Amino acid sequence: MAVDSFATTWVFISVWAVAAATVDFSRVVFIINSQPNSHHAAVAEDTATRIRASMAASGVEEPHHVYSAAHEDFLPLHGAWTYFPLIEAVARELADVADWFVFLEESTDVNLDELSGILSSHSPDDDVFVGHALADLDSVIQHHYAPPGEVKFPQTDAGFVLSRAVVERVREEFESMTKSQSSKFPKDFSIDPAYELARMLGHLFNGDGVRAVTIKNDTRLCLDVDAGCAVHPREKPECKLEEIADLASSTLFAVKTCKKFHEERLTVVGETWANAALNVKFFSEEADPKYGTIVLPGVRNTERGHCGKTLAIIKYFNNHASEEGWKWLVIADDDTILSVKRYVEMLACYDPSENIALGQRYGFRIASGRFGYDYPTGGGGMVFSAPLVKKIVDSGHCECTRDDAPDDMHLGSCLTHLGVSLTHSPRFHQARPEDYHPKVLQVQKPVSFHKFWNTDPRKIYRKWFYDSDTELAALKASRALHSHTEL
């Protein structure tokens, strides 16, 4: 009995001590995911302003280490979005004055009291990685078909936390990697930075008798706004939307296809999202009156890559944009399922007079922070403003090396050469809905998915996009009826 009483008392004192611990928020660094684009930069700065105001109201002494423009605050910083160069930079500059590093998305709210409860239960001298932990439910392409549950990774909309100890050790490994190209970092493709960070942390310290760093799940890093949340995503401000019909009329949806997929894929597109697209054209190597396919000069079909076909579409848009009043070019695959209305609403956030390339960002040899380039992976759709299309065509530097070169990677290299930053949106999806954890899709309001393989694209459209597109579909049908009546 005495032993049991002693044990109970010891636990009680330990819990009380943890609860009584305080966190010095002047030694907490908040790093907000940001991009050079003016829309995203403004959203991130609003988040930073909220956090600074909360810290000031809580009596936290300056300096407040809140960074809303990581691409500017830690220059030079190539490939910061993969986390590895960013962690190295913040460790180099701030590890001496910080205990904790909190990584946030651009539209996130923070409750300092609740966050203090999380941080005070850990030591910054220990290997601490805290987040809203997820694990794949199946083997999926974007995670290189790793076994389900092999790697737990953070849902970044809820933020995640790294201790000073972890940040320092990542910095050491990063510096080693830049000399030896360590296999612990992605060598070629960066696809899902949160997953790849978690995978690297799990492998980084798993050797020489040192334990791996795995994520500790804490549901106070929330995806919904509930009592007790330390971090949670907030609703992004709606962008000023002109008459929906006007913006839809100024957007061309260009679909890449080929003869062998006309019947199989264009039938699906024609029965789903094409009904809501006021301007949609199908580009193939063969004219097909059933689907109205367009054959562009010099375009041949290739089994892969499709660079020649994509660049021909870009030139077609450039030749006709002024007379047609097109401001935006959306290039989609013939097995892309999307919402026209959601696309158009998203484009309302951007200035079509700027050089804008928008899509789901992948990276090629970017994680070292020294080489490589970003590119818009094509399956979920690639978007280009009319001025950027003209810049691509007029530059003379973006001609395809081969017709079957990977079009999205070629365009990424071209944009890098032109000094144009790719704008990323997590609303584009290169794979099917079932390839993503439901909590990843929960807060994104997807605009697209990709692949008809082993799934039912019509069901995907009905579940995710049909309701959004009804207004534009009705408008298109009305215009077609009116045009037919006039004839």
| CATH of residue 452 | 3.90.550.50
| Judgement on whether residues 435 and 302 belong to the same structural domain of the protein | yes
Q: What is the pLDDT along the chain (487 residues), one digit of tens a residue?
A: 333 332 332 333 223 333 335 899 999 999 999 898 999 999 999 999 999 999 999 999 888 999 987 656 776 578 899 999 999 999 999 989 999 999 999 999 999 999 999 999 999 999 999 999 999 999 998 998 999 999 999 999 999 999 999 999 889 888 876 665 556 778 889 999 999 999 999 876 655 556 689 999 999 999 988 889 999 999 887 788 778 899 999 999 999 999 999 999 999 999 999 999 999 999 999 999 999 999 998 888 887 878 999 999 999 999 999 999 999 999 999 999 999 999 999 999 999 999 999 999 999 999 888 889 999 999 999 999 999 999 999 998 899 999 889 999 999 999 999 999 999 999 999 999 999 999 999 998 999 999 999 999 999 999 999 999 999 999 999 988 776 555 5
**Residue whose structure tokens are 């909360």:** 54
Quote the pLDDT of residue 180.
Answer: 59
| Secondary structure of the chain in HEC code, one letter for each residue | CHHHHHHHHHHHHHHHHHHHCCCCHHHEEEEECCCCCHHHHHHHHHHHHHHHHHHHHCCCCCCCCEECCHHHHCCCCCCHHHCHHHHHHHHHHHCCCCCEEEEECCCEEECHHHHHHHHCCCCCCCCCEEECEEECCCCCHHHCCCCCCCCEEECHHHCEEEEHHHHHHHHHHHHHHHHHCCCCCCCCEECCHHHHHHHHHHHHCCECCECCCCCEECCCECCCCCCCCCEEECCCCCCCCCCHHHHHHCEEEEEECCHHHHHHHHHHHHHCHHHHCCCEEEECCCCCCCCCCECCCCCCCCCCCEHHHHHHHHHHHHHHHHHHCCCEEEEEECCEEECHHHHHHHHCCCCCCCCCEEEEEEEECCCCCCCCEEEEEHHHCEEEEHHHHHHHHHHCCCCCCCCCCEHHHHHHHHHHHHCCCEEECCCCCCCCHHHCCHHHHCCCCCCEEECCCCCCHHHHHHHHCHHHHHHHHHHHHHHHHHHHHHC
Write down which residue in 208, 233, 258 finishes a domain. Answer: 233
Q: How far apart are the first and last CA of the chain?
A: 96
Q: Going by C-beta distance under 8 Å and a sequence separation of 6 or more, which residues neighbour residue 273?
A: 337, 338, 339, 340, 461, 465, 469
| Judgement on whether residues 189 and 253 belong to the same structural domain of the protein | no
| Judgement on whether residues 153 and 10 belong to the same structural domain of the protein | yes
| Judgement on whether residues 191 and 258 belong to the same structural domain of the protein | no
| Judgement on whether residues 310 and 455 belong to the same structural domain of the protein | yes
How many domains, the chain? Answer: 2
| Judgement on whether residues 180 and 146 belong to the same structural domain of the protein | yes
Quote the pLDDT of residue 214.
Answer: 92
Task: Please indicate, yes or no, if residue 238 is contained in any of the structural domains.
Answer: no
Task: Please indicate, yes or no, if residue 264 is contained in any of the structural domains.
Answer: yes
Write down which residue in 201, 233, 265 finishes a domain. Answer: 233
| Judgement on whether residues 397 and 428 belong to the same structural domain of the protein | yes
The domain containing residue 364 runs over which residues? Answer: 244-486
Write down which residue in 233, 263, 279 finishes a domain. Answer: 233
Task: Please indicate, yes or no, if residue 129 is contained in any of the structural domains.
Answer: yes
| Residue among 411, 408, 450, 447 at smallest CA distance from 430 | 450
| Residue among 130, 289, 107 at smallest CA distance from 219 | 130
| Judgement on whether residues 174 and 283 belong to the same structural domain of the protein | no
Quote the pLDDT of residue 273.
Answer: 98
Task: Please indicate, yes or no, if residue 6 is contained in any of the structural domains.
Answer: yes
Quote the pLDDT of residue 181.
Answer: 54
Quote the pLDDT of residue 2.
Answer: 38
Quote the pLDDT of residue 286.
Answer: 93
| Judgement on whether residues 215 and 277 belong to the same structural domain of the protein | no
Task: Please indicate, yes or no, if residue 239 is contained in any of the structural domains.
Answer: no
- Cis peptide preceding 76, ω within 30 of 0: yes
| Judgement on whether residues 314 and 412 belong to the same structural domain of the protein | yes
| Judgement on whether residues 127 and 82 belong to the same structural domain of the protein | yes
Task: Please indicate, yes or no, if residue 283 is contained in any of the structural domains.
Answer: yes
Q: CB burial class (10 A; 0-12, 13-18, 19+) of residue 313?
A: buried
Task: Please indicate, yes or no, if residue 18 is contained in any of the structural domains.
Answer: yes
Q: Residues 383, 358: contact at Cβ < 8 Å? A: yes
| Judgement on whether residues 393 and 457 belong to the same structural domain of the protein | yes
Residues 204-252 have pLDDT tens digits of 665 555 668 999 999 999 998 888 999 999 988 778 877 889 999 999 9
Q: What is the CATH number of the domain that holds 178?
A: 3.90.550
